[in-house]
């Protein structure tokens, strides 16, 4: 995943593009570059952060009212100055920025080299801009038409923006499989991978759809598809505040987002749930609600943290709704010729709403007659548009690469959907329904209480910051929490960690346990409590060092564990939203103490929009 940003209008483009790149740096931070048109088409690019690019261009001529910029997460070619974007065409009269992968670039490159084209980078993106120029020259057509023809020949995913030295007030953009949004200002346009660079300037945006090309010229926006059919831009209003994408006094976005969870969970429920009246309405799943309630099975598809949320939801749906649930990695589901029957319900879960594997899995399921429900955070995202129905999590922008508030927000929405289905089916009693509504409504305050454990977690983090391995164990609803805790630690501290069902410990992982091995147990009071106590004793018998997440007031486990973190009591189906908080804090503080880049961990991107 990379970040692209562009501007054309009456203002100076350079400061707008650079600020936009900083806002998008969570999407890619291997290298950055900018192209400006001021008599000549100038491209400046540098390996490293946007700050490295800023230092590099400090003495350059940056005057221009049109510009494109890019922050890269490497796919083709290592991070260096040559592979950074923007890329020139062969003549140097065109410059392109690109997010995505051109899968048939190798054959295109060979064809172009046979014609005499020379390339200075290892990227597929440079091949694309050469290909576009080659088509324009050989067909004697406009740049707009050359872009359209080229995009009918390329295979893969892309969001692109192109500048031309010959058209000093024109930008051409297009997308397929990678996000692109256009902000509409007063005689000016802003283009970006998401709304974060745009919200400061305008709240009117157009989300470009797959196979669409946007031409901005002479102060006008025209959109057509790759079949040359004009389409009418659908203007939407951004529901995002500038302060939501600032750190707000926190050292890192990740810490801010961890501490935002009482609000983000409450925002998920606002207007949807009122426990005192028994009110639970999800407007996004009305039309197909009967399909969901009558489903013979539900397939949940997701990746990463969203997959862990789906695992928790599997327990919830099967217990409350009595509907069989299968949880699938989207990346595996799409390639293994899955059995999908007409009328099956597929629930696709994604923070960004742009995850490439999840989108491809959705399209596959949809083609076989499945009903698609989307659960995502970003309004106007691809998953939201592909779904038949669904629900937004309303968690607000999540900038930190390691997902935190998205996880609890997804669980909130999935729990509400399960409760609504169970109530309408009659698979739970009226009394249990109301009890769970009350419990769910109290989760934000319980998360707030859990966040007060921060100082305790800091102390534990300091003790274990040099550990080389961690083992996370849980049972039932807390097993996916163990997986999520291990993932968080791996992502941002680079410590090897594994999550397991506690009962599976004896089937292999117990061989790893010694006095050097920290073992984190999610051991809150639930139906598996007695079993988890036995598992803790087994670890202690082998000199393992136990960190236990327990229910407040527990008197048994604190006698066995080396370190105890007490969280408020909650219904076991809802406990994952509470128990995950200290695990998020543990991973954060260990990473900070190890000097890791918490918001931009190495090799990772926020949203995987390419395979």
Task: Specify the pLDDT at position 244.
Answer: 63
**Structural domains in the chain plus CATH codes:** 3-243 (3.60.20.10), 247-441 (3.40.50.10490), 452-611 (3.40.50.10490)
Rounded-to-integer distance, Cα 523 and Cα 110, Å: 58
pLDDT tens digits, 194-222: 888 898 899 899 999 889 999 999 899 99
Scan for tokens 């009117």, then name that residue.
204
Residue 583's pLDDT band, with cuts at 50, 70 and 90, is very high
pLDDT over 90, % of the chain: 66
pLDDT at 608: 58
Average pLDDT along the chain: 91
Q: How far is CA 495 from its chain centroid?
A: 22
Segment 548-570 shows an average pLDDT of 95
Helix (H, G, I), strand (E, B) or coil at 230: strand
- Residue-by-residue DSSP string for 364-406: HHHHTT-EEEEEESSTT-HHHHHSSEEEE-------SSS-SHH
* Confidence at residue 611, expressed as pLDDT on a 0 to 100 scale: 52
Alpha helices of 494-547 — where are they, by DSSP H?
529-540
Confidence class of residue 32 from pLDDT cuts 50, 70 and 90?
very high
Whether pLDDT at 606 is above 60: no
pLDDT at 401: 84
218 Cβ neighbours under 8 A, 6+ residues apart: 169, 170
Mean pLDDT on 31-46: 92
What mean pLDDT comes out for the span 554-580? 95
Point out the residues that are catalytic. Answer: 2, 606
Q: Most distant CA pair in the chain: distance in Å?
A: 81
Number of residues in the chain: 611
Q: Is the pLDDT of residue 603 over 90?
A: no
- The reported pTM is 0.80
pLDDT, residue 605, reads: 58
**Helix-strand-coil percent breakdown of the chain, rounded to 5?**
40, 25, 35
- Determine the average pLDDT of the residues in 498-510: 83
Between 395 and 576, whose confidence is greater?
Answer: 576
Work out the number of other CB atoms within 10 angstroms of the CB of residue 537: 11
CA distance 30 to 266: 36
The Cα 101–Cα 502 span in angstroms is 40
Assign residue 226 a region (left: φ > 0; alpha: ψ between -120 and 50; beta: otherwise).
Answer: alpha
Residue 602, token pair as written in the block: 């190495």
- Of 579, 99, 607, the closest CA to residue 403 belongs to 607
User: Per-residue pLDDT tens for 84-123?
Assistant: 999 999 999 999 999 988 999 999 999 999 999 999 999 9
Alpha carbon distance 518, 485 (integer Å): 13
- The answer to whether residues 98 and 150 touch, using CB atoms and an 8 Å cutoff, is no
pLDDT of residue 212: 94
pLDDT in tens, 476-491: 999 999 999 999 999 9
Q: Give residue 342's pLDDT.
A: 85
pLDDT tens digits, one per residue of 328-374: 999 898 888 888 888 889 999 998 888 888 988 988 889 889 999 99
pLDDT above 80 for 63 = yes
Q: Quick check: 133 and 164 in contact, CB under 8 A?
A: no
- 99 forms beta bridges with 159
């Amino acid at each position: 995943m990379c970040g692209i940003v562009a501007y054309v209008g009456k203002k100076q483009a350079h400061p707008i593009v650079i600020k936009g790149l900083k806002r998008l740096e969570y999407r890619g931070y291997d290298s950055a570059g900018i192209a400006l048109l001021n008599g000549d088409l100038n491209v400046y690019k540098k390996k490293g952060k946007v700050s490295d690019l800023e230092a590099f261009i400090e003495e350059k001529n940056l005057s221009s009212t049109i510009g494109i910029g890019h922050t890269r997460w490497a796919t083709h070619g290592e991070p260096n100055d040559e592979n950074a974007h923007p890329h020139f065409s062969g003549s140097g009269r065109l410059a392109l920025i690109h997010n995505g992968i051109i899968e048939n670039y190798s054959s295109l490159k060979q064809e172009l080299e046979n014609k005499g084209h020379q390339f200075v980078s290892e990227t597929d993106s440079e091949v694309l801009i050469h290909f576009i120029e080659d088509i324009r020259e050989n067909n004697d057509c406009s740049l707009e038409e050359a872009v359209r023809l080229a995009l009918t020949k390329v295979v893969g995913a892309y969001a692109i923006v192109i500048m031309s030295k010959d058209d000093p007030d024109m930008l051409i953009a297009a997308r397929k499989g990678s996000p692109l949004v256009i902000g509409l200002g007063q005689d000016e346009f802003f283009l970006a991978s998401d709304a974060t660079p745009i919200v400061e300037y305008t709240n009117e945006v157009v989300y470009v759809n797959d196979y669409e090309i946007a031409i901005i010229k002479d102060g006008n926006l025209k959109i057509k598809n790759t079949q040359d059919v004009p389409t009418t831009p659908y203007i939407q209003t951004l529901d995002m505040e500038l302060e939501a994408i600032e750190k707000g006094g926190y050292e890192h976005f990740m810490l801010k987002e961890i501490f935002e969870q009482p609000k983000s969970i409450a925002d998920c429920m606002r207007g949807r749930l009122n426990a005192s009246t028994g009110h639970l309405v999800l407007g996004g799943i009305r039309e197909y609600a009967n399909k969901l309630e009558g489903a013979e099975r539900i397939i949940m598809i997701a990746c990463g943290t969203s997959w862990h949320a789906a695992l928790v939801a599997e327990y919830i749906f099967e217990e409350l709704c009595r509907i069989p649930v299968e949880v699938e990695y989207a990346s595996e589901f799409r390639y293994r010729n899955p059995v999908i029957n007409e009328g099956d319900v597929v629930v696709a879960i994604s923070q960004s709403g742009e995850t490439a594997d999840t989108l491809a899995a959705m399209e596959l399921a949809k083609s076989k007659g499945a009903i698609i429900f989307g659960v995502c955070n970003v309004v106007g995202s691809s998953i939201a548009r592909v779904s038949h129905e669904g629900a937004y999590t309303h968690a607000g922008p999540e900038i930190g690469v390691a997902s935190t508030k998205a996880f609890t927000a997804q669980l909130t929405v999935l729990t509400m959907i399960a409760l609504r289905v169970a109530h309408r089916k009659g698979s739970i009693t009226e009394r249990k329904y109301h009890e769970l509504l009350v419990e769910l409504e109290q989760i934000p305050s319980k998360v707030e209480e859990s966040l007060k454990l921060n100082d305790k977690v800091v102390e534990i983090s300091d003790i274990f910051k040099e550990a080389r391995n961690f083992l996370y164990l849980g049972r039932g609803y807390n097993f996916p929490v163990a997986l999520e805790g291990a993932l968080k630690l791996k992502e941002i501290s680079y410590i090897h960690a594994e999550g397991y069902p506690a009962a599976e410990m004896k089937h292999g992982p117990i061989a790893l346990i010694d006095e050097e091995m920290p073992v984190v147990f999610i051991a809150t009071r639930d139906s598996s409590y007695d079993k988890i106590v036995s598992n803790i004793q087994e670890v202690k018998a082998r000199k393992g060092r136990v960190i236990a997440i327990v229910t407040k007031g527990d008197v048994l486990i604190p006698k066995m564990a080396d370190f105890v973190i007490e969280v408020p009591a909650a219904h076991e189906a809802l406990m994952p939203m509470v128990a995950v908080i200290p695990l998020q804090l543990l991973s954060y503080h260990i990473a900070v103490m190890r000097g890791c880049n918490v918001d931009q961990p190495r090799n990772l991107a926020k949203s995987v929009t390419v395979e």
